[in-house]
Amino acid sequence: MYRAPRGTFDILPDQQAYWQYIRSKVADICQLYGYERIDTPIFESSGLFVRSIGDDTDIVQKEMYTFDDRGGDQLTLRPEGTAPVCRAYLEHGMYNFPQPVRLYYIGPSFRYERPQAGRYRQHWQFGVEAIGESDASIDAEIIDMAWSLYRSVGLRDLVLKLNSIGCPKCRPQYLEALKNYYSQNFDRLCSDCKRRLDRNPLRILDCKNETCMSLAEQAPRSIDYLCDDCAEHFRLLVRYLEILGLRPEVDHHLVRGLDYYTRTVFEIQPHAEEGAQSTIGGGGRYDGLIEELGGKPTPAIGFATGIERMVVNMKRQGIELPPASRPEAFVAFLGQEAKEKAVECVGWMRGEGIGTILASGNRSLKAQLRQANTFGASFAVIIGEDELRDGLVMLRDMSGGEQRRVTFDEALQALQQSGK
Ligand code: HAM
C-alpha cells in the first residue's frame, strides 16, 4: 500500500473546517490592512533561494528539494515565500507602483526536515510582504497584522518576541564582539556552533544545545551595538507597538534562521511553549534583499505563519469552530420511475441554490432516511408511488419527524425559507 510521503499528510474532510476558517480570516485581515494576493510558482530557480536565504543556513545546506528538470535547469520547490515575492516584485516592475507594495500569499512550502509534531516536509504558509518602505510604522503594521490574525481565530496567551539585529553599518561590530566572546568559550560550544563561529556567529545564539544556551545568556546583545539609525528605528517600533496595545518581549537571542534579515526580527509563540516548533509565525525586515536580487536598494518587511501550527494551537486551546454547513435536503425515492423524478428534482433544487443529496442505490425508505440523518440534512423530500401518481412529494422535517404531502413548488419554498 502506498502512503503519503514521510513528513506530509492528507487534510481529510473532517479537518477542512479549520483550514477553511483560517483561510476566511486571512482574506478578511488582508482586506482590512490593504494587502493584495499574489501567487508565485511552487518551484523557482535554485539560485534564487541560495542567494536570498543564504549559503550557510540550514534551509540551503540541508533542506531544499532541488532537482534538474529535463531541460537541465536546476529548480527548487519553494522552501518559503519571501524570495519568490521579491523576484516577482522585480520581474514585474512593481517598483513603479505606489510604494510600499503590500502583498500576501498562501500555499505549500517544502523543507526536507526531520518530521515531528508541527514540523513537516510540506507545510502551508500564509505570508505578507510590504516592499518599498523603511518607516518603523510599517514594521508595526506587519506585526499587528500577524497578531490580529491569531486573535481573530481565537488564539490566546501568545507572546510577541522582538529583537533588532542591526544593519550592514553596525552589524560587523556586533559580530566581532560575538566572535570574541565565543572564541573565549570555544571548547564549550557544540560541534555545529564551532563551525558556525567563523561563518555565521549569530546563529549560535539560537542553538538549542544546553551549553550553548547557557553561554548565550552572557553573550553580547545586538541592541547594544545598534547604530543611531537602527536604534531610533527600534525605539519607534516599540513605541508604535505600544500605541497599538502590543507588548513585545525583547529577546536578545532571537536571530531567525534566514540570512536576509536586517533590523527588526520577531516571532509569535504560545506562552506556555518553548522551542523551535512552538513558534507559530515569524518575520522581519530585509532591507538588502531586493538589491541582492538585482534591484535598487529597497527596504521591505514581512511575516509568515504555518497554517498547521495555527491548527495545532487552535486545537490545543480548545477553540470551537462554527458548525460546518450541511446539505439542506436529501431526496429519497421508491422504485425506478420515482428515481427518475428524483434525479430531475435534485437538479432543480440545486439550481435554486439548495444543497441537496440524492439517495444512493435502491434501498428501503428506512435505510434512505438513515442516510439522510448521517448527512445531517434538515429535510428529506420523499417520492413514492403515490406521490408520483398525484404529482406531489412528501416533505419530512428530519429533526422532528413531521411530514406533509405538498407540491414540489411548495417543498422548494419551504426549503428556501428554512435555509434563510
Ligand atoms: P520561517 O520562520 O522559516 O520564515 O517560516 C515561517 C513559519 O512557517 C514558521 O513560523 C512556521 O510556522 C512555519 N514553518 C516553517 N517551517 C515549517 C515546517 N517544516 N513545518 C511546519 N511549519 C513550518 C519564513 O519562511 C520567512 N519567509 C518569513 C518572512 C516573510 N520573513 C519576511 N517575510
385 domain residue, yes or no: yes
Which percentage of the chain shows pLDDT scores above 90? 90
pLDDT at 386 (0 to 100) = 94
For residue 308, CA distances in Å to 108, 120, 156 come to 11, 9, 17
pLDDT reported for residue 200: 87
- Same domain assignment for residues 240 and 94: yes
Protein residue with least CA distance to atom 33, ligand 1: 302
Of 52, 125, 256, 261, the one to substitute when testing ligand 1's pocket (max ligand atoms within 8 A of C-beta) is 125
DSSP-assigned beta bridge partners for residue 161: 249, 267
What is the pLDDT, as a whole number, of residue 273? 64
Q: What's the whole-number mean pLDDT along residues 398-417?
A: 94
Residue pair 125/106 in contact by the 8 Å Cβ criterion:
yes
What's the gap in Å between 255 CA and the centre of ligand 1?
A: 13
For 24, the 3-state DSSP assignment is: helix
Q: What is the pLDDT of residues 150-164, one digit of tens each?
A: 999 999 999 999 999
CA angle 303, 316, 248 (to 5 degrees): 40
Q: Are residues 301 and 333 in the same domain?
A: no
Is any ligand 1 atom within 6 A of the Cβ of residue 129?
yes
In this structure, the answer to whether residues 49 and 137 fall within a common structural domain is: yes
Strand-by-strand arrangement of the 356-358 sheet: 356-358, 329-333, 379-383, 393-397, 403-406
CB 57 near ligand 1, within 6 Å: no
User: Do residues 356 and 301 both lie within one domain?
Assistant: no
Q: In this predicted model, what pLDDT tens digit does every residue of 41-70 receive, in sequence order?
A: 999 999 999 999 998 889 999 999 999 999
Percent over 70 (pLDDT), the chain: 99
Supply φ then ψ for residue 196, to 5 degrees: -70, -25
CB of residue 270 inside a 6 A radius of ligand 1: no
Q: pLDDT value at position 322?
A: 78
Does residue 166 have its Cβ closer than 6 Å to ligand 1?
no
**For position 113, what pLDDT does the model report?**
95
User: Does residue 269's CB lie within 6 angstroms of at least one atom of ligand 1?
Assistant: no
User: Could you tell me if the CB of 280 is within 6 A of ligand 1?
Assistant: yes
Question: Do residues 299 and 395 share a domain?
Answer: no
Q: Helix, strand, or coil here: 333? A: strand
Residue 47 and residue 126 in one domain: yes
pLDDT at 107: 98
Q: Is the domain of 303 the same as that of 342?
A: no
What are the tens digits of pLDDT across the range 335-344?
999 999 999 9
Q: Is the pLDDT of residue 77 over 60?
A: yes
Q: Is 408 in the pocket of ligand 1 (CB under 6 A)?
A: no
Of 266, 288, 316, which residue sits at a domain end? 316
pLDDT digits (tens, 9 = 90+) for 39-48: 999 999 999 9
Backbone angles phi, psi at 94, to 5 degrees: -70, -10
Residues 359 and 259 in one domain: no
- 130 has a pLDDT exceeding 70: yes
Identify the DSSP state of 63. I
The DSSP line for 245-269 is: T---EE-TT---S-TT-EEEEEEEE
Predicted pLDDT at 357: 97
Provide the whole-model pTM.
0.93
Q: For residue 277, is pLDDT > 80?
A: no
Q: What is the rounded CA–CA span in Å between residue 139 and residue 137?
A: 5
Q: Are residues 375 and 403 in the same domain?
A: yes
Ligand 1 pocket mutation pick from 309, 311, 312 by most atoms within 8 angstroms of CB: 309
CATH at 123: 3.30.930.10
CATH number of the domain where residue 364 is located = 3.40.50.800
Predicted confidence (pLDDT) at residue 276 exceeds the cutoff of 60: no
Question: Tens digits of per-residue pLDDT, 244-272?
Answer: 999 999 999 999 989 999 999 999 999 87
Q: How far is the CA of 84 from the centre of ligand 1 (A)?
A: 14
Residue nearest to atom 1 of ligand 1 (CA): 282
Calpha distance 310→298 (Å, rounded): 31
Q: Do 250 and 359 share a structural domain?
A: no
Domain endpoint, select from 250, 284, 316: 316
Q: How far is the CA of 82 from the centre of ligand 1 (A)?
A: 10
For residue 132, name the pLDDT band (cuts at 50, 70, 90). very high
Q: Establish if 324 belongs to a structural domain.
A: no
> What pLDDT digit, counting tens, does each position of 203-223 carry?
999 888 999 999 999 999 999
With H, G, I as helix, E, B as strand and everything else as coil, classify residue 301.
strand
CA distance 358 to 380: 10
Kindly state if the Cβ of 330 falls inside 6 Å of ligand 1: no
Q: Is 368 in the pocket of ligand 1 (CB under 6 A)?
A: no
Mean pLDDT of the chain: 95
Angle at 258 between CA 256 and CA 259, to 5 degrees: 110
Phi-psi bin for 225: left (phi > 0), alpha (psi -120 to 50), beta?
alpha
Q: What is the pLDDT of residue 274?
A: 58
pLDDT tens, position by position, 171-185? 999 999 999 999 999
One domain for residues 268 and 397: no
Choosing from 291, 316, 341, the residue where a domain stops is 316
Structural domains in the chain (count): 2
Residue 99 has pLDDT above 90, yes or no: yes
19 and 100 co-located in one domain: yes
CA–CA separation, 260 vs 363, rounded Å?
63
Q: Which domain holds residue 96?
A: 13-170+226-316
- pLDDT at position 324 is 75
Q: Taking residues 6-17, what's their average pLDDT? A: 94
* Residue of higher predicted confidence among 356 and 418: 356
Cβ–ligand 1 distance for 80 under 6 Å, the answer yes
- Ligand 1 atom nearest the C-alpha of 121 is 19
